[in-house]
Homo-oligomer: A and B are copies of this chain.
Amino acid sequence: MPPKRLSAAEYATGIRAGSRTVLGRAITLVESTLPSDHALAQEVLQAVLPHTGRSLRVGITGVPGVGKSTFIEALGRYLVETKGLKLAVLAVDPSSQRGGGSILGDKTRMPWLSAQPAAFIRPSPAGSSLGGVARATREALLLCEAAGHDVIIVETVGVGQSETTVHGMVDFFLLLMLAGAGDELQGVKRGIMEMADALCITKADHGNEQAARRARLDYQSALHLFPAAPSGQVVPVLLTSAVDGTGIGAVWEVIETYAAATRTSGYFERRRQQQQLQWLHQSIAQALKSRFYADAAVRERLPAVQSAVAAGQLTPFAAAEELLGL
């Protein structure tokens, strides 16, 4: 028997009271693509909205193999055990299939955290469209904040457009890197390094220390050539070993210092407001495009028009006008 459907007020009360079951069900609700769930989900969000915004939102990315899960397990353990904080870990991975063994869908990759009452781990919502996955994750983030989590980690894989998406929903964006000569960067999308608020070289252990230190110097000089970050803060390069815990506390210190400095300067709050407005306008743009490309006449005509444009037989602007006139 499936659990009885709760009212928006019951969801909100349960979340606020710290019920993990209700929080989990509320996230399932915002992830649902059923039209019948949609209005209720929006009602729940609206009800908890006054209780959101109080966490520190941290984005973490890095290519597969960089040790993201191990890093998050170590950082999370530090936050829970040493700092006494309540932590939620969310993920954005449009390629993940719930139950299909996706790297982000597997709770067992963070065994210690998974067993903690103070940590809430949720795999990436399933879905093929980044827009849908992003919306669900942003809304899950608000629900976790209303549930009183102090820190929300949003992780993503180091490929595709998902970094930009995660960057648009967090206060601090951390890029995990491996030490080495540069080859391991092939998988990192261009532009990601310039979005990072800090770089962290992982696996600086087991005889790898020297390579890690050299990589740190290299990245530091490279970052020095970059334009200043819009936050006004220096982008540090850190060394960590998740195995022996080296540098994990220093990472958290960097994040806390950043948050304090940008709160004082006003950048922190300004950026959050910008993110909210960006989300509004992106939602609108996406809805307008979905409607347009779902139109029967457009769908019928689009392939021929695209071929003509790609073949140089029709200017893109004339083609756009033709489709818009349908």
Would you call A190 and B226 a contact (CB within 8 A)? yes
Decide if A66 is an interface residue (CB 8 Å cutoff): no
- Say yes or no for A280: interface residue by CB 8 A criterion: yes
Which residues from chain B contact A324 at a C-beta distance below 8 Å? 284, 287-288
**Which residues does chain B contribute within 8 Å of A182, judged by CB atoms?**
224-225
Q: How many copies does the complex hold?
A: 2
Q: Once the chains are docked, how many angstroms separate the CA of A138 from the CA of B49?
A: 45
Among residues of B, the one whose C-beta sits closest to the C-beta of A185 is B227
B185, A226: Cβ atoms closer than 8 Å: yes
| B residues in contact with A277, CB < 8 Å | 306, 309-310, 316
- Which chain B residues border A142 with CB–CB below 8 Å? 315
| Bound-state Cα–Cα, A276 to B224, Å | 36
Check if A227 sits within 8 Å of B190, measured CB to CB.
yes
* A193:B316 contact, CB within 8 angstroms: no
Give how many A residues have a beta carbon under 8 Å from the other chain's beta carbons. 61
Query: How many whole Å from A52's CB to the nearest CB in chain B?
Result: 7
Question: Whole-angstrom distance between the alpha carbons of A314 and B292 in the complex?
Answer: 26
Q: CB < 8 Å: which of B46, B221, B292 contacts A222?
A: B221
| Residue among A188, A194, A219 facing the most chain B CB atoms (10 A cut-off) | A194
Least Cβ–Cβ distance between A79 and chain B, in angstroms: 25
Within 8 A of B (CB), among A53-77: 53
Docked complex Cα distance between A320 and B283 (Å): 6
A76 to chain B, nearest CB (A): 27
A-B contact pairs, 16 of them (CB 8 A): A42-B321, A45-B317, A46-B318, A49-B312, A49-B313, A138-B317, A185-B226, A190-B229, A222-B222, A277-B310, A280-B306, A280-B309, A283-B320, A284-B324, A285-B288, A287-B324
